[in-house]
Amino acid sequence: MSSVGAASAASKTQDPTPADPSAIRNVVMVGGSGSGKTTVVEGLLVATGEIARLGSVEKGTTVTDYDDAEHRTHRSVGTALAPVFHDGTKINIVDAPGYADYLGDLRAAIRAADAALFTVSAVDGVSGAARVLWDECASVRLPRAVLITKLDNPRADYDAVVEACREAFGPSVLPMMLPLYKSEAEVGGLMDILTGKVADYSSSTRVVRDPQGDEVAKLERNRDAFIETLITESDDAILLDTYLEGGELDGAMLRKDLSVAIAGATFFPIMPMAAPGDIGTVELLQLITEGFPSPVDSPIPEVTTPAGATVEVTCDPKGPLVAEVVKTTADPYVGRISIVRIFSGTLRADSTVHVAGHGTRPDGSANHSEDERAGTVTSPLGATQRPVPYAIAGDLCAVAKLGSAETGDTLSDTGKPLIAKPWTPPEPMLPIAIKAAKAADEDKLSTGLNRLVSEDPTLRIEQNPETRQMVLWCMGDAHADVTFERLAEKFGVPIERVPYRVPLRETFTQKVEARGRHVKQSGGHGQYAVCEVVVEPLPSGSGFEFVDKVVGGSVPRQFIPSVEKGVRAQMAKGVLAGYPLVDIRVTLFDGKAHSVDSSDAAFQTAGSLALRDAATKGSPVSLLEPVTTMTIVVDDDHVGTIMSDLSSRRGRLTGTESIAGGRTMVKAEVPEFEVVSYAVDLRSMARGTGSFTREYLGHEAMPAHRIDAVLEAAKDK
């Protein structure tokens, strides 16, 4: 039996509920789309006996997602959990999506893990998107190792990719193992720089041996730099002195230094992998169990009481329960399943827990705080749920029937509610206006969207009061497409995209006089009201002023508020293209009334008609468009392209600033009309390396040629 086969057999005897957090490793797979993450996960599942062979799992029980979206898009679209067992250690592998639209899922997965395996294809190298993902891990000082995959491909170039990794990620990224080739494109073994041994895969059985022939020189060429960097980053003065004096280096001390340097996120070993599920898998399992930090050695998020008092907790199964919902999925048939990371205490099946909201959500709704009975606790493998009686501090599990739990919520003991400081989800920047395909489905659409938003904090629903549209804010087109598919499949609500309306405003540009006359007679009491007004512009941001200059009672005092009410109602509707009218003063100076037929309703109508009449006096009305302050961060190579593009969008450049890592921050003021799809456009221009934020600055006058286009569209509508 091969070493991999032996590992497979042994894993089946492992207890799925470890008694000690030090026997747990939580590892997130990070890498760009197509870098081989999912293949590595399946290889580890094969090596530890969780599945029989690569591709042997049936559809619906894969390790990548809970629905069919990935199979259609050919990319991971959600966070999935796959536990494996090796050498008495439970390894929870979190497979996070690598596509930019699912940055929120990546951040949640990083929060759940204690270390990351960062995959880079030996064929495609380091992409700009990969650098962005690396920065996400670095921002929280997550320990990492780099996996160079697809070495069995004829176009693979291990040495070139190693240099590309060091250039992109820093000099502390160094190969810990070197591939040994049986032929030009076939890896036959791996040489371990740390131990000086070779794992020979040239036969059907993995054999560990000493290096031979040219292998000795290859080991010596790479060993000094690796050992020197490792000892320096682990800050081991004793071992450093021994090394500098030329003494014998203790293998056990080197392995200890490796775990210290990795845990400190200051040293990042590179591991090669080839022939998925075979070459490099055993070595990777050893690195995870011996070199990666356990939950006991990892920091715990800040924990407070609901009143805000800090509470010290440790990774202790006997401590107070503090767990975080990493991901939720809702299914109309199965119900809600929550993937949970336990930081302290023990979570038992069918126990009652306190579910605490994680702060005000993007849609503005308030925190929630309630007790709920948890359902079954399971150790999931993709969609397959394997029940366990409990899960301890440091572990990951899935919990059923937590109906109110949302991604990012905290679970704690009912008698001692606690809240873990939440991670920050990325802000969705792509607005898409939607409606239910059938009017009868409006209520179902609202229910379905609210469920999806509770699962995915990077979705935001907005009911825009100015444009009267339902707007779904997403991370990008792919994110939107998957959301719409889930609405249709899970909740039976097909939706339609409609053109997104930028919230423009109307205003007067000159002073005009106007008249509103509403006279009707249809038997009995009629309707009679006439008002004379002056409409004039006010400075931007002034709002609305109504001035009463009526003399002699031409408009009875009781009807003057009615005129103002009618004017305000018409302002909300607009007088040019259906957008709200702002920054004007309306002065009522004369009018007529009838002793019988005048009424509140009649003068409201007259006030409305007066404002509409004012809009016909030449061309006194113009459009205002919202302007946003944009802060864009891109690689230096793309700065020229970005600045040129902003100019073409009528943007005003306000400054640039160089930042670390060969990147530049560009600031500009740009009409929102021009950047509706900027989340998609920037990704294309910057090849996945750009990010941006924006903040509303104010409304400014729209150019005449743009106004003509808006009016033409309004006329067609």
pLDDT of residue 523: 66
Does position 2 have pLDDT exceeding 50, yes or no? no
CA distance 657 to 666: 7
Q: Model confidence at 9, in pLDDT bands (50, 70, 90)?
A: very low
Tracing tokens 């040293």 back to the chain, one arrives at: 267
638: in domain: yes
Asked if residue 51 lies in contact with residue 382, where contact means CB atoms within 8 angstroms, the answer is no
| pLDDT higher than threshold 50 for residue 660 | yes
Indicate if 492 and 509 belong to the same structural domain: no
Both 321 and 349 in one domain: the answer is: yes
Write out pLDDT tens, residues 104-159. 999 999 999 999 999 999 999 998 888 889 999 999 999 999 999 999 888 899 99
Q: What is the pLDDT of residues 214-231, one digit of tens each?
A: 999 999 888 888 888 888
CATH number, domain with residue 404: 2.40.30.10
Mean pLDDT computed over 516-533: 88
Query: What are 603-639's pLDDT values in tens digits?
Result: 999 999 999 999 999 888 999 999 999 999 999 999 9
Q: What are the C-alpha distances in Å from 441 to residues 302, 435, 437, 473?
A: 43, 9, 7, 20
Same domain, residue pair 218 and 203:
yes
Query: For residue 14, is pLDDT > 80?
Result: no
What CATH number does residue 467 fall under?
3.30.70.870
Domain CATH code at residue 562: 3.30.230.10
In this prediction, residue 253 carries a pLDDT of 81
Please tell me whether residues 478 and 535 are part of one structural domain: no
Average pLDDT, the chain: 87
Q: Do both 647 and 591 map to the same domain?
A: no
Mean pLDDT, residues 310-328: 94
The larger pLDDT score, comparing residue 661 to residue 666, is at 666
**CA gap 158, 284 in Å, rounded:** 17
- Shared domain for 491 and 358, answered yes or no, is no
Average pLDDT of the residues in 481-509: 91
What's the pLDDT at 57? 45
CA distance readout (Å), 67 to 24, 409, 481, 639: 28, 23, 14, 39
Least Cα distance to 323 among 345, 290, 299 occurs for 345
> Which residues fall within 8 angstroms of residue 526, CB to CB, at 6 or more apart?
519, 520, 594, 596, 597
Number of domains in the chain: 5
The bridge status of strand 268-272 relative to strand 144-149 is parallel
**In the predicted structure, residue 375 carries a pLDDT above the cut 70:** yes
Any domain includes 372: yes
Higher-scoring residue by pLDDT: 288, 368: 288
Q: How far is CA 266 from CA 117, 143, 226, 269, in A?
A: 15, 8, 13, 10
User: Are 319 and 265 in the same domain?
Assistant: no
Say if residue 579 is in the same domain as residue 684.
Answer: no
* Together in a domain, 378 and 287: no
Residue 28 confidence (pLDDT) above 90? yes
- Looking at the structure, do residues 44 and 182 belong to the same domain, yes or no? yes
Average pLDDT over residues 357-361: 58
Q: What is the pLDDT of residue 55?
A: 53
Task: Report yes or no on 425 lying in a domain.
Answer: no
What's the pLDDT at 72?
43
Query: Are 237 and 311 found together in one domain?
Result: no
pLDDT at position 332 is 59
How far are the Cα atoms of 220, 240, 286, 398 from residue 251, in angstroms, in the given order? 16, 14, 15, 39
What are the tens digits of pLDDT across the range 262-297? 999 999 999 998 865 578 999 999 999 999 999 999
Q: Please report the pLDDT score of residue 307 as a whole number.
A: 85
Residue 59 pLDDT > 60, yes or no? no
Query: Across-strand partners of 631?
Result: 667, 693
* pLDDT, tens digit, 9 for 90 and up, residues 534-578: 999 999 889 999 999 999 899 999 999 999 999 999 999 999 988
Q: Which domain holds residue 407?
A: 303-420
pLDDT value at residue 382: 59
Q: How far apart are CA 85 and CA 18, in angstroms?
A: 10
User: Which pLDDT band, with edges at 50, 70 and 90, does 716 fall under?
Assistant: low
Note whether 396 and 415 are same-domain residues: yes
Q: Give the per-residue pLDDT at 564.
A: 97
pLDDT at position 204 is 77
User: What is residue 277's predicted lDDT score, i.e. its pLDDT?
Assistant: 52
As a whole number, mean pLDDT of residues 404-427 equals 91
Proportion of the chain above pLDDT 70, given as a percent:
90
- 536 within a domain of the structure (yes/no): yes
Domain contains 329 = yes
Is 328 domain-assigned? yes
Question: What CATH code is carried by the domain that includes residue 109?
Answer: 3.40.50.300
pLDDT greater at residue 461 or residue 69: 461
Minimum mean pLDDT range among 29-38, 244-253, 483-492, 516-525: 244-253
- Kindly give, in sequence order, each residue whose CB lies less than 8 Å from that of residue 357, ignoring residues fewer than 6 positions away: 366, 367, 368, 369, 406, 409
Q: Is residue 189 part of a domain?
A: yes
Structure tokens at 291: 């070199």
Q: What is the pLDDT of residue 368?
A: 79
Q: Which segments of 198-354 does DSSP mark as H helices, in order?
A: 214-234, 237-244, 251-263, 275-278, 281-291
**364 compared with 547, residue with greater pLDDT:** 547
Tokens at residue 286, please? 């050893």
pLDDT band at 331 (very low <50, low <70, confident <90, very high): low
